[in-house]
Structure 1
Amino acid sequence: MNVLLILLVPIGIILFFLLLSSFFVVKQQTAALIENFGKFSSIRNSGLQFKIPIVQRIAGRVNLKIQQLDVLVETKTKDDVFVKLKISVQFQVIREKVYDAFYKLQNPHDQITSYVFDVVRAEVPKMKLDDVFERKDDIAIAVKAELNEAMSDYGYDIIKTLVTDIDPDVQVKAAMNRINAAEREKVAAEYEAEAERIKIVAKARAEAESKRLQGQGIADQRREIARGLEESVDVLNNVGINSQEASALIVVTQHYDTLQSIGEETNTNLILLPNSPQAGSNMLNDMIASFVASNQIGEQMKKSNAAKGISNKRKRTPPPATDGDVQY
């Protein structure tokens, strides 16, 4: 009896552990593959599962979640620029093809990487460097199409492919930065030149307006002076002084007023002016003589222009028709 008890205890313990090992848990978004003595038997999905001890075993588990693989590819463009592209491939095991995904490929990551290298090194050499940046979506579409065609037989579905980074050679990037900086400096210089031109135009307009106002002020000043002189002559005429004498008196008065104003200015440069009593009379006579001469020259020019006009008119008028001419 004791011997039987000694034998049953170990057997019971072994059976207990075998029973425990018969149950296993499969996590969500995971599939477990069961083999009978090394031969595929079934696929178990998430939840509590049972297997026959010793006869069946879990060959492996397959992740059904979307996974991402980053592949770094170095190649050269059509314009002989070496560039590194980072391709991110998002893939997932097809639930209905878990068997193919587990048994047909030893290492799916290496397989995907090989296809990515093949497609990128076939597409990028057809493009220039600028086109690689502008058409990176075309590269991603080409990679996805090639991977879908190749990996679907192995039970994998390619969800998305992205070109997440484009890294040219260091010297090329430095040259591109210099070109960009030169372009920006060119634009800045153009804006600065335009601003300078606007300031010059505004300054010229302001000076023109200032000159116009200054000229208008001088004209108004001379008009008022003439009006004052006219009033002065009228006042002198009222007291029996004729126009010539009045003009001479006004000129002499203005002459001495000018000398007085010059003498009052302490910082005025040296100016030599006649200050004899007859200086004003001489100045008046010179002014009258110049006015008379200019009037005579103007009248002579008017007569000459009128004579030229009559001569030109005679040249343009055709001669009258004679009896021998035929008129239509």
Structure 2
Amino acid sequence: MSPFLIFIIIFALIIFLSSFFTVKQQTSIIIERFGKFLSVRNSGLQFKIPLIDRIAGRVNLRIQQLDVLIETKTKDNVFIKMKVSVQFKVIQEHVYEAFYKLEYPHDQITAYVFDVVRAEVPKLILDDVFERKDDIAIGVKRELNEAMMTYGYDIINTLVTDIDPDIQVKNAMNRINAADREKTAAMFESEAQRIRIVAKAKAEAESKKLQGQGIADQRREIARGLVESVEVLNNVGINSQEASALIVITQHYDTLQAIGADTNSNLILLPNSPQAASDMLNGMVTSFTASNMIGEEMKKQPKRIKKSDSTSIDYNPSDTTNPTEDQS
């Protein structure tokens, strides 16, 4: 066999084998014939005419994600960075449009995201941006769907995954949050303290009430005991006055006994006879009376007033006549 024939056989075998190709799952392949679109081939074993048909490109049908980082300004002039994640895929029935109508789909999606975010965020203050981030994501998805459906792309979802204000604004927000939490904690602490004070006051009032009732009951029982004691003494021939004196003396000595039972007491006892208090009171009254009498007598005695020329005058405050001069 000549070398030329061998070359022809090998070339024919290569051409035959190149006529078959495989397409992976969730992938579509564009076939062109002489530079013109021919067909779209899906997953599986496929055939094309060698040297006439060619694979123009592959289109991924799986869901893809594009993260877009945007810097914009809010209504209250705070610069923030937002991260928007766009999940999209190529519609299998519109592979032709996705391949031929749009060359750089990622750049197109990024441009639409920038346009929507920079149109919506400047209308909101910073707090509203955090609260209404879902509304911003819905607005981005709606705008992208209207624009990208023409090119065979379906926007599955859009998510605002991060909102990052300027570091100084973030620190200020943290301080505001900390101050608000401290204010709330102080309010709770004040309320707790008020509850404790009210509870303590109620407990003290209840204690005083019970203590007063106890003292009243005690005095009532003491009075009842005294009445019974007087009645018993009257029954044995002792009149009420003598019975009262006897009871007072008995209580007096019972008190002295109770005081003496405490070995650690530093109490100093005055004379302990029943008449001691009366004698002490009488002595004090007598002393005050004598002191007053002496004071009145001293007021009645004349006072000697000395003049600058060595002349003295006897002056009695109670005497309304002219003072008498005494030449020294």
- Provide the residue aligned with 1:326 in structure 2: none
Does 1:28 pair with 2:13?
Answer: no
Residue 150 (structure 2) aligned to one of 150, 153, 157: 153
* Structure 2 gap segments, 5+ residues each: 281-328
Is the partner of 1:78 in helix, strand or coil? coil
What is residue 7 of structure 1 aligned with on the other side?
Answer: 4
CA distance in 1, matches of 2:265, 2:37: 121
Equivalence for 1:215: 212
Q: What's the counterpart of residue 254 of structure 1?
A: 251
Bigger helix share:
1
The letter of the residue matching 1:212 is K
How far did 1:122 drift? 0.9
**Alpha-carbon spacing, 1:261–1:141, altered in 2? closer, same or farther (3 Å):** closer
Partner of 2:43: 46
Aligned amino acid, residue 198 of structure 2: V
Task: Tell me the amino acid that sits aligned with residue 230 of structure 1.
Answer: V
For residues 125 and 273 of structure 2, what CA distance do their matches in structure 1 show?
Answer: 94
- Shift, 1:279, TM fit: 4.7
Q: Partner of 2:263: helix, strand, or coil?
A: coil
Moved more, 19-28 or 209-218: 209-218
C-alpha distance after superposition, 1:262-319 (max 9, x if no partner): 3343344545655335358889xxxxxxxxxxxxxxxxxxxxxxxxxxxxxxxxxxxx
Q: Hey, what's the Cα distance between the residues in 2 that align with 1:239 and 1:124? A: 108
- Determine helix, strand or coil for the equivalent of 1:241: coil
What CA deviation, in whole Å up to 9, does each residue of 1:175-211 have, x standing for no partner?
2222222222222222222222222222222222222
TM-score, scaled relative to structure 1: 0.78
Residues 248, 280 of structure 1: 8 Å contact kept: no
Determine helix, strand or coil for the equivalent of 1:240.
Answer: coil
CA 1:97/1:235 → structure 2, altered by over 3 Å: closer, same or farther? closer
Question: 1:123: how far off?
Answer: 0.7
Counterpart of 2:71 (choices 55, 74, 94) is 74
Query: Is residue 202 of structure 1 aligned with residue 199 of structure 2?
Result: yes
1:193 is matched by which residue type in structure 2?
Answer: S
Aligned residues: 280
What TM-score comes out, normalization by structure 2 length? 0.78
Moved over 6 A (4+): 280-283
- CA deviation map 1:106-142 (0-9, x unaligned): 2111111111111111111111111112111211121
RMSD: 2.2
Structure-1 separation of matches of 2:200 and 2:46: 92
Aligned letter for 2:63?
A: I
Distance in 1 (alpha carbons) for counterparts of 2:277 and 2:83? 100
CA distance in 1, matches of 2:208, 2:74: 65
Residue 256 of structure 1 and its aligned partner are, at CA, apart by 3.1
Maintained 8 Å contact 1:251/1:281: no
Secondary structure in 1 matching 2:169: helix
Contact 1:236 1:242 in 2 (8 A): yes
Equivalences for residues 180-195 of structure 1 within 5 A: 180-195=177-192
Distance (Å, rounded) in 2 between the aligned partners of 1:167 and 1:259: 85
**Aligned counterparts of 1:141 and 1:246: Cα–Cα separation in 2:** 103
What residue ranges of structure 1 are gaps of 5+ in the alignment? 284-328
Matched letter for residue 3 of structure 2: I
Report the residue type matching 1:232 in the other structure: S
Equivalent residues in 2 for 1:20-169, closer than 5 Å: 20-169=17-166
1:74 and 1:178 mapped to 2: Cα distance? 24
